Each structure stands twice: as structure tokens, then as C-alpha cells.
Amino acid sequence: MTRQTRRQLSAVARHAVLSLWLIVTVFPIYWMVATAFKLPEQWLAWPPVWFPSPPTLENFAQVWVGTSVVSSGDQVLPPISLEPLHGLRNSVVIAGTATLLSVAFGLLLAYGVSRYQILSERRMFNLLMLRMMPPIVIAIPLVLWYSTLHLLDTWVGMIVVYTIFTLPYSVWMTKSFIDEVPVELEQAAQILGASKLRAFAIIVVPLIRSGVVATCLFILILTWSEYLLGLVMTAAEAQTLPVQLSKFEGTQEGRQFGLQSALSIGVTIPLIVIGLLIHKHLVRGFSFGMIRRR
């Protein structure tokens, strides 16, 4: 067998294996999307309906706009007063703000650690591992503490918690990017008259742009999809989408799969879109100091 043949065969094998995992990966997503377009009688049908025909937008209208009424069989289901747009707004504000704050503080700290060693290596690892504590472990006293501070069910309260909890990640990730920029560049800028801060802003920040983007996305994923703390620390005012989704489920009699899917898509689509847009930046930044770039 020639090398060329061998090479072609392994390419085929590779595609086969990857395609297999591709199906496993994409199928659940496909199902969710397909179900969101199904009429109620198709939700629980056996054998299951693989392709909704005719496709309908009723589910989306019901869940997101609250206008139309969905009928299941001959029973008209009551309209669901859910105000997911309320939840959407909360999610955007809370997750967005927390992400920005976390990354900003993280950058500041990372700069300090990288250039001035304000924290030792060991402390840095301690910090990371601190984050690895299951949040549920301090959820109870946190709730009590918050109720004392009147921060329960507020935007500020959630933003503060999310910022603190994601800080270790953002510090670690941005630090690895700053480390890659030779300190000589800032020194050269300083010799030419720039202040430390200016040198950092004009020289370092542009160079670590893609890394900061990747970090932002990662923190955004964490804060947007956070569930437990949101569940126990919010009620009607500051409830985020993931919590709303579970509340929706809780109030349902029987499985409203179509509506659930329509809601779910809305909850998770922003992350998927953003993630796909910046997927090229993702490979960097997830190394936590364990990868040496050549």
C-alpha cells in the first residue's frame, strides 16, 4: 500500500469518526428546534415526529409574545403569563454587567500579577481552586446575608455575586494573555514618554484583544447560564432566563414540549450565536498556564 493510499484511508476513517460525534452533538439541538415548530398534537406522539409538518410559529408567539392561544386537542390551554422578555432583560443586564466587571477587574489584577507579581504563583492557584468550591456550599448564608442587606432579588445583588464568583477565571485567563506580551514593549513605550497606564492601554490591550474576547465569552457563558444562585436569590424582579425556564416547567401540567422548546431556544440562542461568531478566539486562553506557546 502506498503512503498516499494510507493517507487517504485514514482521512476517510477520520471523517467517519468525526461525523459520528457530529450527529451525537447536533441531534439534540435539532430536536429542540424541530419541536419548537411542532403543533401540540405532535409533541408527545409515538412514533415521534421527526420533521414538523406543517411547521408553526404558534409556540414562539405564545411563549415570547403571549398573544395567541395554543390548543392541545380540544382543550384550549390558558395563555401563559410568563413575561420571558422580563427575564431576558434581566439576563442581559445581570450577565452582561457582571461579565464586563469581572473581565475589567480580572485584567487589572492580571496585569498586577503578571508585571508586578502582586500575588505569588501559589496564591494564584489557590484563587483558582477557591472558585472550584461548589457554590451551593455557601448559598444558605449568602441568602441570609443578602436578606440583611436587602440585596435579595435585585440586579445589584446578582451582579455582585456573579462578578465575585467569576473573578478567578477572568484573572487567570487574562493573565495568560498578558504574559505572552513581552514586557520590553511597555518598557520601550515608557522610555518614549508614555505613562505606565498609557503603555498598557495602547500597547498591551490591542495585542491581547482576541484573548480578552474569549475570556468575555467564557465568563458570559458562566453568568448567563448560572442557575442555582439565581434560583435561590431571586423572585419576581431579578429573575434570569434559566430560572424562568424552570419555573415555567414547574407550573405545567403535563409536558408542553413545544412551548418549552420555544422558550429554551430563546434562552440559549444568544450564547450559541456569540460563541460561533468568535469560535476562532476560543482556542487561546483556556490554558491556565499549562500550555507554552512556541
Partner 1 sequence: MGSIRLVNLRKEFAGGVVAVENTNLIIEEGEFVVFVGPSGCGKTTTLRMIAGLEEPTSGQIYIGDRLVNDLEPGQRDIGMVFQNLALFPHMTVADNIGFGPRMQKMEPKERRRRVADAARMVHIEPLLLKLPGQLSGGEAQRVAVARTLITEPRVFLLDEPLSNLDAKLRKEMRAEIDRLHQNLKKTFIYVTHDQEEAMTLADRIIVMRYGRIEQVGNPLDIYHNPVNWFVADFFGSPSMNLLKGEFRWELGAASFRAGELCVPLSGPVPKREGAATLGIRPEHIDIHLERVPRDGDLRARVALVEPLGKDTLLYLEYGDSKNLIAIVEGHHYVQAGSWVGYSFRRDRIYFFGPDERRLLPEEAPSGTP
Partner 2 sequence: MNKAPAARKGGLFRWGALTPLILALGFLLPVLLLQIYLSVHQWTAYLGPWWAAQFVGLDLFREVLTEERFLRAVARSFIFAGASTLLSVLVGFGLAYLMQDPFRGRSFYYMLFIIPMLTVPVVVGYNFQMLLYESGPVNHILSLLVPGEVRISWLGHPVAAFASLVLIETWNWTPFVMIVMLAGLVSMPKEPVEAARVLGASRWQIFAHVTLPLLKPVLVLTLILRFLEALAEFPKFWTLTQGGPGTFTETIPVYLYLTSWDYFNVSKAAAMSYVVLLFVGVIIYVCIRALLRQKRALDIMFAQEGSGR
5 to 24, contacts with partner 1 by CB under 8 A?
A: 7
Q: Which of partner 1, partner 2, none binds 150 (CB below 5-8 Å, type-dependent)?
A: none
**Rounded distance between C-alpha atoms, residue 74 and residue 67, angstroms:** 19
Name which position in 85, 108, 188, 201 contacts partner 2 (CB under 8 A): 108
Residue 90 CB, nearest approach to partner 2 (Å): 14
Min. distance of Cβ 194 from partner 2 in angstroms? 14
Q: What is the DSSP string of the chain?
A: --HHHHHHHHHHHHHHHHHHHHHHHHHHHHHHHHHHTS-HHHHS-SSPPSS-SS--SHHHIIIII--S--EETTEEPPPP---HHHHHHHHHHHHHHHHHHHHHHHHHHHHHHHHH-SS-HHHHHHHHHHHTS-GGGGHHHHHHHHHHHT-TT-HHHHHHHHHHHHHHHHHHHHHHHHHHS-HHHHHHHHHTT--HHHHIIIIIHHHTHHHHHHHHHHHHHHHHH--HHHHHH--SSS--HHHHHHHHHHT-SS--HHHHHHHHHHHHHHHHHHHHHTHHHHTTT--TT-----
How many residues at the interface with partner 2, by CB under 8 A? 99
Pick 92 or 164: Cβ nearer partner 2: 164
Residues 260-279 that bind partner 2 (CB under 8 A): 260-261, 264, 267-268, 271-272, 274-276, 279
Among partner 2, partner 1, none, residue 3 binds (CB under 5-8 Å by kind): partner 1
Nearer to partner 1, 7 or 14 (CB): 7
Told to check if 51 binds partner 2 by CB under 8 A, we report: no
Q: Does 290 bind partner 1 (CB under 8 A)?
A: no
Q: How many CB atoms lie within 10 A of CB 155?
A: 17
* 3 near partner 1, rule: CB under 8 A: yes
Q: Count interface residues toward partner 1 (CB under 8 A).
A: 5
**Residue 293 engages partner 1 in binding (rule: CB under 8 A):** no
- Does position 20 interact with partner 2 (CB under 8 A)? The reply is no
In our burial notation (b when 16+ CB lie closer than 10 A, e otherwise), range 4-19 reads eeeeeeeeeeeeeeee
For partner 1, give the closer residue by CB, 5 or 251.
Answer: 5
Question: Is residue 129 at the binding interface for partner 2, with CB under 8 A as the rule?
Answer: yes
Q: Does 81 bind partner 1 (CB under 8 A)?
A: no
Per CB under 8 A, contacts with partner 2 among 175-234 are 179, 181-183, 186-187, 196, 221, 224-225, 227-228, 232
Amino acid at 163: T
Could you say which of 82, 98, 167, 262 contacts partner 2 (CB under 8 A)? 167
Which lies closer to partner 1 via its Cβ, residue 3 or residue 150? 3
**Residue ranges in contact with partner 1 by CB under 8 A:** 1-4, 7
